[in-house]
Amino acid sequence: MEQLPVCNTVLSPDGRPRAVASDHGAAKQKLFDLLPPAFVAAVVAFWAFAPKALAENGWTIVVTSALITLAVLGLEFVHERHAGWRMNRREFFTDLFYVVLGSTVISWVSTAVAEDPLAAAKKSLGITTQWAMQMPWLLQVVLVIVLIEFGQYWMHRLMHNATPFWLTHAPHHHITQLNAAKGAVGNPIELVLISLSVVALFDLSLTAKFCAFNVLGVVSTFAHANVRANPPRFYALFFTTIRHHSLHHSTDYEATRCNYANSLILIDRVFGTYREGEAAVVGQDDLRRLSIWEQFVFPFQPLIDRIRAKREATAAAIN
């Protein structure tokens, strides 16, 4: 969607009103357009130069992740993209619930069912990937980003093309507005599936992994945020933007089968699933927002409906 410059009205020499672009409005827009790449650069610089004791502390990644979300959420109030996506009290507390769920229960389950078993299998089989540890630090960051995004891309694509998986992912598409923390919203089964990766098989610097997690967090947060920012072409070529992802959340199901990459849109470009465009209205079916409980039971709803229909038919037959 083309962004129009902010205009003021002045009088022309013949006394008629004439619209002129506001330098302040144009400068503000240019600043916001540069914020996503600036955030990425700031994250990389932090993890590259932070003191070792701070960078390797597990709580640091928790704090930086929270600060990224809060910062982008704050930007929504300064320069929103769509009034219809404006944050309200109900959306805020729902998003907060899912952010906490993701950083606690989902994180624990993902570690227990995937990362720990992979690490144990790697150790028992004597597999070593010291070559990865010997890579330059920045290349390690890139490797982690590619590994995570490649897995998420194919899992996400599977969810849109296989009914059992779609039932776990569909709740995420029933959100009716996009905001900074909306990437964390979804059915718990989907949240676990989409978090799986093979990063545990590689020997990599802890700070490189933390940096990659934060870079992905920045990109994904901006890709879901109600912020009027259209990053430069060099950024949008590689990373997912709100334009790419809002189209993926459009109201037409067939239109959602594109731009699967959570953060690395380059993968969609490579595999032919990239589509240009933007959507201002998001949601599925009757565009009704699901409650947390409805999100949780959604994958089982067809089974619940069949059981309920069978009971009603039995009751009708008896009567």
**pLDDT of 17 strictly over 70:** no
The token pair that represents 66 in the structure block: 């929270």
**pLDDT of 195 strictly over 50:** yes
Phi-psi region of 283 (alpha: psi -120 to 50; beta: other; left: phi over 0): left
CB 174 within 8 A of CB 288: yes
Q: How far apart are CA 42 and CA 39, in angstroms?
A: 5
Q: How far apart are CA 33 and CA 129, in angstroms?
A: 39
pLDDT for 204-228, tens place per residue? Answer: 999 999 999 999 999 999 999 999 9
- State residue 258's pLDDT score: 95
Neighbours of 93 (CB within 10 A): 10
* Short-list 240, 229, 221, CA closest to 178: 221
> What integer is the mean pLDDT of 282-308?
92
> What integer is the mean pLDDT of 131-148?
96
3-state class (DSSP) for residue 13: coil
CB 133 within 8 A of CB 124: no
- State residue 14's pLDDT score: 45
pLDDT grade for 312, boundaries at 50, 70 and 90: confident
Contacts of 299 by beta carbon, 8 Å cutoff, 6+ apart: 164, 167, 168, 187, 189
pLDDT grade for 130, boundaries at 50, 70 and 90: confident
Counting every residue written for the chain, the total comes to: 319
**pLDDT of 34 strictly over 90:** yes
CA 290 to chain centre: 19
Q: How far apart are CA 266 and CA 153, in angstroms?
A: 11
- State residue 56's pLDDT score: 93
- State residue 318's pLDDT score: 83
CB 247 within 8 A of CB 275: yes
**pLDDT of 92 strictly over 70:** yes
**pLDDT of 64 strictly over 60:** yes
3-state class (DSSP) for residue 228: coil
**pLDDT of 272 strictly over 70:** yes
pLDDT grade for 22, boundaries at 50, 70 and 90: low
> What integer is the mean pLDDT of 45-66?
95
The token pair that represents 46 in the structure block: 């932090």
Q: What are residue 8's DSSP bridge partners? A: 20
How much of the chain, in percent, has pLDDT values that exceed 90? 82
- State residue 127's pLDDT score: 87
Contacts of 281 by beta carbon, 8 Å cutoff, 6+ apart: 84, 250, 251, 287
Distances (CA, A) of 91 to 48, 86, 228: 35, 9, 19
* Short-list 213, 187, 202, 211, CA closest to 293: 187
Q: How far apart are CA 179 and CA 282, in angstroms?
A: 12
Average per-residue pLDDT for the chain: 91
This prediction has a pTM of: 0.88
Q: How far apart are CA 204 and CA 301, in angstroms?
A: 42
Amino acid in position 312? E
Q: How far apart are CA 180 and CA 192, in angstroms?
A: 20
